[in-house]
Structure formats: C-alpha cells, structure tokens
Amino acid sequence: MLVIFDCDGVLIDSEIVAARLEAEAITELGLPMTAETICARFAGTTTKEVWQTLERELGRPLPEGFFEAHLAHVREVFARELQAIVGARRAVERLTLPFCVASSTRMPALIDNIATCGLADLFDGRVYSASQVKRAKPAPDVFMFAASQMGADPGDCLVIEDSVAGVTAARRAGMTVVGFVGGSHVTAGHAERLTAAGATEIFGHMDGLDAIVAAHRPRLAA
C-alpha cells in the first residue's frame, strides 16, 4: 500500500495565503473578489489555470509582466508566512508504509514550499508534480505518475486530498481517496463536496491519519 499526499492544504497551509494574494491582485485590477471565493472555486487547480480564468472574467488581458511579478510576490510572501499543517510532520513520521507527494504545484515551487515548512527531509526523492505530466488535476496523470515511480499499483494507493479537483483526479486514477479538511482555507460545506466527489472518508486533523491508514490498509492489501 502506498500513501500519496497532496501538498497544498494537506501538508502545508498554503491555500489560504495564495488565495488572499490572488484576491488582492485581481481586485486591484478591477474585479473584486475575496480569498474565500478563490478557495471555493480554485482549490486544487494550478496557478496558471486560476489566472487564465480570472483574465477571462476581467474581460481584458493581464498587464504585461503581471503573472511573473505576481509569482515573485507569492514566493516572497510564502518565504515569510508559509507553515506546515498542524501535526503533519508527526503524522508522516509515524507512517510505516511507503509514501510520497503528488501535487499540482510546479516542481521548483513545490520543493521550495516543502522545504520552507521543514518537511523536505521526509519526502526526499519522493515528490511528484503536475509539471512532470501532460495534464494537471482533475486529470489523473500526476497520481498515476507518482504510483508508477513508486512501483505501486493504483488500486493499492490511498490518497490524502483537500480539493474536489484532487479527489476527482484520484478517483479517475482508480485510487482510494480520503478528504482532509484541516486547512485554513476550508469553508462550510467543503466536506460534503469532497464526499460527493468520491472521498470515502473525511478527517480534520493530522492526528487522525493513523486511524485512516489502519482502516484502509486491510482492504487495499486484499
């Protein structure tokens, strides 16, 4: 059995910070939006996809150099503010099964963010990004890629996800997926949305990971 973690909103509490910065930026351009709206609409999707959608809704092209400047600002703020999800390190350290990360974030930023939160040593060489495959979540590509690199059958994988896009991607990959709702970005009704997308179980604190894994291990190993 292989445990596959999403990163943003599962291991690191980045979704709410990124959403705040995206909301501030698009509001300054003339399209008022809140961080809560960004989270509800775009959690689990790539930054590029977020800005392509916002650009269409804005009704005009983003200013020249905007995207690059925004990403630089995000990196700067992340370096100051980014923190691991409470209990994430302890929960991962207790695992006795193989595990890895599979995220929609591009690889350089993904590595930086994991390191900023003090988790890099746990996942050395076992971090996989949608930038390594053709399609991002909700396509199954990054989960299939992670499983192949780890030598695991998709049917023997347990995915920990916080977004509808991620849950959908895991289910399309033929994997079992549970929903995590312990991130600061989670809004009312999110657990229900993850369940509707195919999450078999919902948990809200990383202290519960042991029980989640233990409950699924016999069935996935059968």
Q: How confident is the prediction for the chain on average, in pLDDT?
A: 93
Residue 221, pLDDT above cutoff 90: no
Domain ranges of the chain: 2-13+83-221, 15-81
- Same fold? 2-13+83-221, 15-81: no
pLDDT at site 42? 84
For residue range 1-28, list pLDDT tens digits in order.
Answer: 999 999 999 999 998 898 999 999 999 9
pLDDT at site 43? 77
Query: Could you give the CA distance from residue 124 to residue 100 in angstroms, rounded to a whole number?
Result: 9
**Percent of the chain whose predicted confidence (pLDDT) is above 70:** 98
Helix (H, G, I), strand (E, B) or coil at 4: strand
Per-residue pLDDT, averaged over 138-157, amounts to 97
pLDDT band at 49 (very low <50, low <70, confident <90, very high): confident
pTM of the model: 0.90
Residue corresponding to tokens 């990971």: 209
pLDDT at site 58? 93
For residue range 193-208, list pLDDT tens digits in order.
Answer: 999 999 999 999 999 9
pLDDT at site 40? 83
Query: Could you give the CA distance from residue 178 to residue 213 in angstroms, rounded to a whole number?
Result: 10
For residue range 61-112, list pLDDT tens digits in order.
Answer: 999 999 899 989 999 999 999 999 999 999 999 999 999 999 999 999 999 9
DSSP 103: E
CATH 1.10.150 fits 15-81, yes or no: yes
CB 104 within 8 A of CB 136: yes
CATH code linked to domain 2-13+83-221: 3.40.50.1000
